Structure 1
Amino acid sequence: MDLTAWAARQPEKVAVVDASGTALTYGQLEARSNRIAHLLRRLGLSAGDHLAVLSENTVDLFPIVWAAQRTGLLYTLVNWHLTADEAAYIVENCDARVLIASGRLAELAARLPAVERRLSFGAPVPGYDALEPLLADQPETPVEDQVEGYYMLYSSGTTGRPKGILPSLSAAPFGTGLSVDHLMADHFGFDAESVYLSPGPLYHAAPLGWSLGTMRSGGTVVLMDRFDAESALRLIEAHRVTHAQFVPTMFVRMLKLEPEVRSTYDLGSLRLVIHAAAPCPVDVKRRMIDWLGPILVEFYSGSEGVCFFMIDTATWLERPGSVGRSVLGTVHITDDEGHELPAGEVGQVWFGDVPPFAYHHDAEKTATAYDHRGWTTLGDLGHVDQDGFLYLSDRRTDLIVSGGVNIYPREVEDALIMHPEVADVAVVGLPDEDFGQRVHAVVTPAVGVAAGADLAERLTGYLRERIAGFKVPRTIAFGPIPRLPSGKILRRHLID
């Protein structure tokens, strides 16, 4: 688990490589992260202080992250897809004393707050000091007081301002590792032979945490700057990737590649394909299993760290649609009054017996995240079966109530997403005088497919064969679907 130990054992082994072939070895990563760690100490940062980083997916990000991790800092990777105001809010809210920004994001970086010290790497940024000259006289050996830090992530902000999820610093010696590092080794088989494909943005929990965890195990990270379906297959073949992690929208894009394109690439090195972040349509997952074999493992969790469910392929085939049983916390399903529901009934999903968490600088939101029993929720609806397997229905905030009947957007989306004329789809509830809400779909047509009334009629007919009539959208519009890079739909943008 100690980066220094891995660097001594395998200094020439690649720790991280990007799609262009730019790489850092373990020896290079150790030396550069140590130099940055000494600089952070010279700038006055000590364990518990906060660092903010604005960067695209690049191998140059990892020495910065490891420097923060080995000096006991809280550090936040700022979502560079946000507006300047939204990104500035995160930098201010997280109490960053130092901000390090990539020169490729100079326009956004120049509009961020003037914290105690602002540094840039890769290219100049107005108002920032260049990082490289400051490292010239820094040692390549570890600082004396190494302790584990922790990344402080912000929620996706799909329903409002992002919330900082404040972790507890353990003050454990560097090399102890974080909980996710041990989980990856114990439950997902990560070791020094692992090659992990990371296709998502590193400001999200899984791409960052699992990339660091791969290095903790002595493996290699293959980093994508953005997801492209065929590029992912090419990288799996080229680097003999053993572990890859995707979100369901990535599955859909890979499945919609022409069969002759998919069959071009040798994916035989894959030992495990992990997916999370959003519920996966049953049909999509079946097709992925048919293609890649019984190597899919799904997990359900949240940045708050209050639950962790997982399910392997064999178990999922016996219980299609489940996200598994809990390996962290106790699951409870309740009605709107908080009464616990029996197996099979849909309600709000709550978790008990879990580590506490807090939203940074927001005691009110922290308090409302728990009920009187100390249970907490991620806002999802679902049910458990008699054996404790969890099935998710939708987000409570996404639920459509039409004529007094609950309609789950995900069920409609899942029924439509693999239609050959559909590239993407989202379903929302719009105000309706008669029914309170009506089901409305926004569809992105596939390449070469003409949008219009004829397509809407074909899609409506297709849905009527697959779901109940009252769930079929009464109106269909055509256009792009606003999504986060994690695949989550920004439904509030659609409704607006």
Structure 2
Amino acid sequence: MGWMADETGLEKTPANYIALTPLSHLRRAAHVFADRVAVIYGAHRVTYAQYYDRCTRLASALAARGVSGGDVVATLIPNLPAQAEAHFGVPACGAVLNTINTRLDVDTVAYIFSHGGAKVVLVDPQFLELAEAAVAAMDVPAPELIEVADAAAGWPASGRHAVYEDMLAQADPDFAWVMPQDEWESLALNYTSGTTGRPKGVVYHHRGAYLMTMGTVVSWRMQLHPVFMAIVPLFHCNGWNHTWMMPLLGGTVVCCRDITATAIYDAIRDEGVTHFGGAPIVLNMLVNAPDSERRSFDHVVEVFTAGAPPAPATLGKIEALGFNVTQVYGLTETYGHVTECVWRGDDWDGLEQSEKAAIKARQGVAFPMMEHITVMDSDMAQIPMDGAAQGEIMIRGNSVMKGYYKNAPATAEAFEGGYFHSGDIAVQHGDGYIQIADRAKDIIISGGENISSVEVEGVLMGHPDVNLAAVVAKPDDKWGEVPCAFVELKPGTAPSEADLIAFSRETLAGFKAPKRVVFQELPKTSTGKIQKFELRKVAQGL
């Protein structure tokens, strides 16, 4: 099928078939955009020619340390220039990049070092004690630690290990990049959060990352020379692959060690940031920032948001500040975002703000690089697209992981039936747009009725005194389980538990309204996601 009768001589050659890889973007940018600023971090400002040189030297230095094809190089670094450089320099020597969550505990980091087989770790001094303790806890050969100092932020090198900048200075600037011969070769190894057991190693290939960069340009309606602020941690789905994408457009990456409202507003005003991605907690932070932390700006900032669906109330407020938000959805296993809420201007521009915000909270339709994303029932049949029937989001396309490293059973289970099983419960509207109802484990079943924690959270977030809300199941003798809300209040407010329950009942059916409201700071991951498993533990004892 698809072959002509005589294709003699029509073969793949180096002239007409090259393995797809995001490394190609930086090699091209080093020439096409040589003098444009590529990376900014305080006083650190490098052009694309300099960026390419630094990545080349990193590849050379790693190779000189014995790192070769298929070896793993790990990082424990915030969103700083060296973390961006590792995204190119590590694979440029044929190795696989393993960016590690800097907020993990010693035991988990030791497990990742061991399971992934890291040969070298680039580590920021802030996390050096974590890395050293993890190495000490290993019972297999340990990786070499290399310190990436950040003296300007108060984190100079300790002197106990080799130093990153010294290593680059001694490296070969003419090192020949090791480009993949097969686009299925592994590019990155990312570990899941592991909240219910040991984290699983998700393996990315060069093809998937390349196509992710191309699809994102289309979906984000991007033009040449965007200024992108790296807010999503680069250890989370490799920052949704945006660092690999920016050289494609000759864009500028603005790095940031600590994400605050002040840092974001300053970068927008001072550096002209045009794009960033972030969890809904980032939107809340910007909306609720006091005037003293805000800066005015005169351009629209495009924002991708993902994670828990943002409350419509938050979306309504953020856009009035000059941000255009697009809801996206994805998982570690899909390189980041793979669905988007494509805005249908002619149909939706005339709606009331509350209606617009409700639509913008949908997860939407597949990105252009994906093949098919839909919602299926337990028999893997398409659910009715009526906005009510629920099923599991199923994903098929080139930006789906190769599988779980050293875990064939989990890989087979995840890919059963020819789709990646997301574990997310959703409805589908008549136009095909997907809207998450809940994670399968977050659905609350009360007296036989399913309650979406997302729906209850969205209502609570509409209360003027609520900053963040999370809803989990609380055991109940009569109903089996009932909704229990955990709420972070805005400074200077003090509504009562009864106030919030009454407020939720104005919108929700009685059985959906929370039966308990607990006021506390919500536990969060480094990417801003609320750790509901911690809240479930609290709810068990109420």
TM-score (norm 1): 0.89
Name the structure 1 match of 2:316: 286
Amino acid at match of 1:413: E
Name the structure 1 match of 2:73: 51
Shift of residue 471, structure 1, vs aligned partner:
1.1
Of 233, 237, 262, the match for 1:230: 262
Name the structure 2 match of 1:299: 328
Of 67, 83, 86, the match for 2:108: 86
Question: Which structure 1 segments of 5+ residues have no match?
Answer: 171-175
Rate the CA distance shift 1:68–1:320 in 2: closer, same or farther, 3 A. Answer: closer
Shift of residue 286, structure 1, vs aligned partner:
2.8
Name the structure 1 match of 2:14: none
Name the structure 2 match of 1:254: 286
The alignment status of 1:266 with 2:290, answered yes or no, reads no
Question: Equivalents in 1 of 2:177, 2:487: separation in Å?
Answer: 57
Rate the CA distance shift 1:206–1:467 in 2: closer, same or farther, 3 A. Answer: farther
Of 165, 168, 171, the match for 2:202: 165
Identity between Structure 1 and Structure 2 (%): 25
The alignment status of 1:107 with 2:129, answered yes or no, reads yes
Q: Find the residue that maps to 2:304 and give its secondary structure.
A: strand
Rate the CA distance shift 1:252–1:467 in 2: closer, same or farther, 3 A. Answer: same
Question: Equivalents in 1 of 2:469, 2:512: separation in Å?
Answer: 15
Q: Find the residue that maps to 1:111 and give its secondary structure.
A: helix
Rate the CA distance shift 1:110–1:208 in 2: closer, same or farther, 3 A. Answer: farther
Rate the CA distance shift 1:116–1:22 in 2: closer, same or farther, 3 A. Answer: closer
The alignment status of 1:217 with 2:249, answered yes or no, reads yes
Q: Find the residue that maps to 1:428 and give its secondary structure.
A: strand
Question: Equivalents in 2 of 1:230, 1:6: separation in Å?
Answer: 31
Shift of residue 196, structure 1, vs aligned partner:
0.7
2:205–2:401 CA contact under 8 A, matched in 1? no
Question: Equivalents in 2 of 1:186, 1:429: separation in Å?
Answer: 40
2:101–2:526 CA contact under 8 A, matched in 1? no
Instruction: Give RMSD over aligned pairs.
Output: 2.7
Question: Equivalents in 2 of 1:411, 1:324: separation in Å?
Answer: 17
Residue pairs, 1:440-455, within 5 angstroms: 440-450=484-494, 455=496
Name the structure 1 match of 2:144: 117
Amino acid at match of 2:334: G
Name the structure 2 match of 1:153: 190
Q: After alignment, is 303-312 or 107-116 more displaced?
A: 303-312
Amino acid at match of 1:6: A
Of 134, 138, 149, the match for 2:171: 138
Residue pairs, 1:355-434, within 5 angstroms: 355=400, 357-371=402-416, 373-434=417-478
Question: Which structure 2 segments of 5+ residues have no match?
Answer: 1-23, 136-140, 150-155, 349-355, 538-542
1:403–1:436 CA contact under 8 A, matched in 2? yes
Q: Deviations over 1:112-139 (max 9, x none)?
A: 2252433223144586333444444321
- How many equivalent residue pairs? 483
Shift of residue 89, structure 1, vs aligned partner:
1.4
Residue pairs, 1:9-48, within 5 angstroms: 9-18=32-41, 20-48=42-70
Shift of residue 211, structure 1, vs aligned partner:
2.3
1:308–1:329 CA contact under 8 A, matched in 2? no
1:332–1:350 CA contact under 8 A, matched in 2? yes
Q: Deviations over 1:270-327 (max 9, x none)?
A: 3x2222233122232233334437x432222222128822123445749454222223
Rate the CA distance shift 1:65–1:319 in 2: closer, same or farther, 3 A. Answer: closer
Question: Equivalents in 1 of 2:397, 2:240: separation in Å?
Answer: 26
Amino acid at match of 1:375: Y
Question: Equivalents in 2 of 1:257, 1:101: separation in Å?
Answer: 32
Question: Equivalents in 1 of 2:38, 2:420: separation in Å?
Answer: 37
1:120–1:131 CA contact under 8 A, matched in 2? yes
Q: Find the residue that maps to 1:304 and give its secondary structure.
A: helix
Rate the CA distance shift 1:164–1:136 in 2: closer, same or farther, 3 A. Answer: same
Rate the CA distance shift 1:179–1:121 in 2: closer, same or farther, 3 A. Answer: same
Shift of residue 13, structure 1, vs aligned partner:
2.8
Rate the CA distance shift 1:434–1:363 in 2: closer, same or farther, 3 A. Answer: same
Question: Equivalents in 1 of 2:162, 2:272: separation in Å?
Answer: 39
1:110–1:126 CA contact under 8 A, matched in 2? no
Rate the CA distance shift 1:433–1:125 in 2: closer, same or farther, 3 A. Answer: farther
Rate the CA distance shift 1:169–1:313 in 2: closer, same or farther, 3 A. Answer: closer
Name the structure 1 match of 2:341: 311
The alignment status of 1:64 with 2:86, answered yes or no, reads yes
Shift of residue 338, structure 1, vs aligned partner:
4.6
Q: Find the residue that maps to 1:100 and give its secondary structure.
A: strand
Q: Deviations over 1:121-165 (max 9, x none)?
A: 314458633344444432112325334862222223344332111
Q: Deviations over 1:35-76 (max 9, x none)?
A: 111121122222222111111222233333321132232111
Q: Find the residue that maps to 1:64 and give its secondary structure.
A: helix
Amino acid at match of 2:284: V
Rate the CA distance shift 1:93–1:146 in 2: closer, same or farther, 3 A. Answer: same
Residue pairs, 1:168-179, within 5 angstroms: 168-169=205-206, 178-179=210-211
Question: Equivalents in 2 of 1:406, 1:177: separation in Å?
Answer: 37
Question: Equivalents in 2 of 1:289, 1:421: separation in Å?
Answer: 19
1:323–1:390 CA contact under 8 A, matched in 2? yes
Rate the CA distance shift 1:125–1:163 in 2: closer, same or farther, 3 A. Answer: farther
Question: Equivalents in 2 of 1:330, 1:28: separation in Å?
Answer: 40
1:84–1:111 CA contact under 8 A, matched in 2? yes
1:166–1:360 CA contact under 8 A, matched in 2? yes
Question: Equivalents in 1 of 2:164, 2:261: separation in Å?
Answer: 35
Question: Equivalents in 1 of 2:226, 2:397: separation in Å?
Answer: 32
1:119–1:129 CA contact under 8 A, matched in 2? yes
Shift of residue 360, structure 1, vs aligned partner:
0.9
Rate the CA distance shift 1:359–1:469 in 2: closer, same or farther, 3 A. Answer: same
Name the structure 2 match of 1:200: 232
The alignment status of 1:461 with 2:502, answered yes or no, reads yes
Amino acid at match of 2:534: H
Rate the CA distance shift 1:133–1:484 in 2: closer, same or farther, 3 A. Answer: same
Amino acid at match of 2:299: G
Name the structure 1 match of 2:353: none
Name the structure 2 match of 1:173: none
TM-score (norm 2): 0.82
Shift of residue 421, structure 1, vs aligned partner:
2.1
Shift of residue 448, structure 1, vs aligned partner:
2.4
Moved over 3 A (4+): 8-12, 123-137, 144-149, 189-192, 260-264, 312-321, 334-340, 352-356
